[in-house]
Amino acid sequence: MRSILIVTLLSCFWAVNEAKVFSKCELAHKLKTMGMDGYHGQSLASWVCMAQYESNFNTQAFNGKNDNGSSDYGIFQLNNKWWCKNGYRSSANGCGTTCSKFLDDDIDDDIICAKRVVRDPKGMSAWNAWVDHCQGRDLSKYLASCKL
């Protein structure tokens, strides 16, 4: 009986900690609801393209291997040097939050921070993946099958 209880509790813990991986259209709907379509001149397709190449739509994406020693967190790969604090290195913390907040399934705070990033002088160019894969390209395929 005791082992069943332990297995059940561990299963619940594991389920809570699983990453949410959005579908392209699911993310597009969420972003549209949060006012991202046209935000700071960026199309909804541009945001979806960026998220695909930054995290493959995974809320728990983590990159701890940047050349400058910084790390990137969450669906938009928000960097701990500029946008959040992780407790291990100094940060400008432009979004005023801890980096761990960007690794949960609730992406509202990620979206609010992404809005802050795009208002910075670099705009969408703050995301290398956007520059390399999305900028100046036909992005219509990112929303083509979505019923928005």
54 is an active site residue: yes
**Euclidean distance between CA atoms 35 and 28, whole angstroms:** 11
Catalytic residue among 37, 54, 67, 104: 54
Catalytic residue among 26, 67, 72, 132: 72
26 is an active site residue: no
Residues tagged active-site? 54, 72
